[in-house]
Amino acid sequence: MLSDKQKGVARGLGGAIAATLVAYGLALWLAGDAFAAFDTLLGRMRLLALSVLPLLAFFCISIGSLARHRFFSADDIDGSGLTTGTATAHQLQAVLQNTLEQTVLAAIAYLAYALLAPASWLILLPAGAGLFLIGRILFWQGYGSGAPGRAFGFALTFYSTIFIALPAIVFAFLQTAP
């Protein structure tokens, strides 16, 4: 039997998976041929660059938030290597660590997808970037409420990336040698 926290996490995960699938389905349906102009190597790389900017922005904000906190906290200014750290520093560090992990995963997935996906599917890059950013914001806001509070944000970030990574792998196997 699942605990209340586990049930809360499961609801967050399920909701995020559903939200990702709906968002991606709508994006594919509404985009049509709008992304055909990106079907060159330069176009795909530009779209990739634009799509990783939200990842970069949130990563910078995460680093800056912890640095700002440490600067203004006498208890935390020496950093985690020299102090035990306050609860706020631990929370900001946890958000930063998870953001680093999610950013690396997304950047690799986006790169593979940008180079392998059919032009009509490229809409998922900016859609994924938007979901990533929303997920990170919700993760950060919900972090203090424990696992159920951050589950939707975590899962929205993670599954929006996984649902780009998996098709990239499939597209790689479907590609024919040049």
User: For 23-66, how does the pLDDT look when each residue is reduced to its tens digit (9 = 90+)?
Assistant: 999 999 999 888 888 999 999 999 999 999 999 999 999 999 99
Per cent of the chain over pLDDT 90 is 86
CA distances from 124 to 30, 44, 119, 161, 169 (A): 11, 12, 10, 10, 15
**Which pLDDT value is given to residue 176?**
60
Q: What average pLDDT is seen over the chain?
A: 94
What CATH number does domain 37-174 carry, 3.30.499.10, 3.30.1330.10, 3.20.20.190, 1.20.120.550? Answer: 1.20.120.550
Residue with tokens 């996906």: 117
CA-nearest of 118, 115, 113, 112 to 41 is: 115
- Give the largest CA-CA distance in the chain: 60
Q: Write the pLDDT tens digit of every residue in 13-25.
A: 999 999 999 999 9
Q: Could you state, in order of their start, the residue ranges of all structural domains in the chain? A: 37-174
**Which pLDDT value is given to residue 33?**
85
